[in-house]
Amino acid sequence: SFADIGDIIRGKDLYRGNKKKNQNETEREKLEEKLKDIFKQIHDDVTTNGKNLQALKKRYEGDTDGNYYRLREDWWYANRETVWKALTCHAHDTYFRATCNHGNSQYQAQKQCRCDKEKAGKDGDVNIVHTYFDYVPQYLRWFEEWA
């Protein structure tokens, strides 16, 4: 789901996977290593090139343990709209939660993954990504999904 992808990108996924026969690591561990490599490249790029070089160096100076959690959080925040569009805009009527709020009622988006009103949320960007479910801790989402 959208929220699970957010957890994986941000390094907060609780599921660690199972090792298959004759494997030294799980598929989840392989994915995590690939993500670390990708975010290392991004980290190296943003801390050596570009506009706000000093501010970025300062922001990510503690992100040197190889996991790049702060950068991963920032990347997810900046790109969650694109991920949302990729998952939902061409898959009409497949998201099962009420995604829009109009007065006292909630409803699912009907207009190609957008709510009727522009700036339908409190801070204005719920029209872009209809949910903040990706920021709910994974174990709480599991309670809701499996209860």
pLDDT tens digits, one per residue of 55-83: 988 888 887 788 899 999 999 999 988 88
pLDDT for position 120? 45
| Dihedral, CA of residue 140, residue 144, residue 145 and residue 146, to nearest 10 | 100
The pair of structure tokens assigned to 46 is 């943003």
pLDDT at 8 over 50: yes
pLDDT at 26 over 90: no
3-class secondary-structure state, position 101: strand
How far is residue 109's CA from residue 97's CA, in Å, rounded to a whole number?
10
pLDDT band at 136 (very low <50, low <70, confident <90, very high): confident
pLDDT band at 121 (very low <50, low <70, confident <90, very high): very low
Helix 2-10 and helix 27-46: axis angle, to 10°? 70
How far is residue 69's CA from residue 10's CA, in Å, rounded to a whole number?
6
pLDDT at 125 over 60: no
pLDDT for position 42? 92
pLDDT at 37 over 50: yes
Please give the residue range of the domain that contains residue 33. 2-146
User: Three-state SS string across 8-47, please?
Assistant: HHHCCCCCCCCCCCCCCCCHHHHHHHHHHHHHHHHHHHHC
Q: How many domains does the chain have?
A: 1
pLDDT higher for 120 or 48? Answer: 48
pLDDT higher for 117 or 146? Answer: 146
Which pTM value belongs to this model?
Answer: 0.68
pLDDT tens digits, one per residue of 108-120: 555 545 555 554 4
pLDDT for position 76? 94
In the predicted model, what is the mean pLDDT of residues 5-34?
84
pLDDT for position 70? 93
How far is residue 115's CA from residue 123's CA, in Å, rounded to a whole number?
14
- With beta carbons less than 8 A apart as the criterion, state whether 20 and 146 touch: no
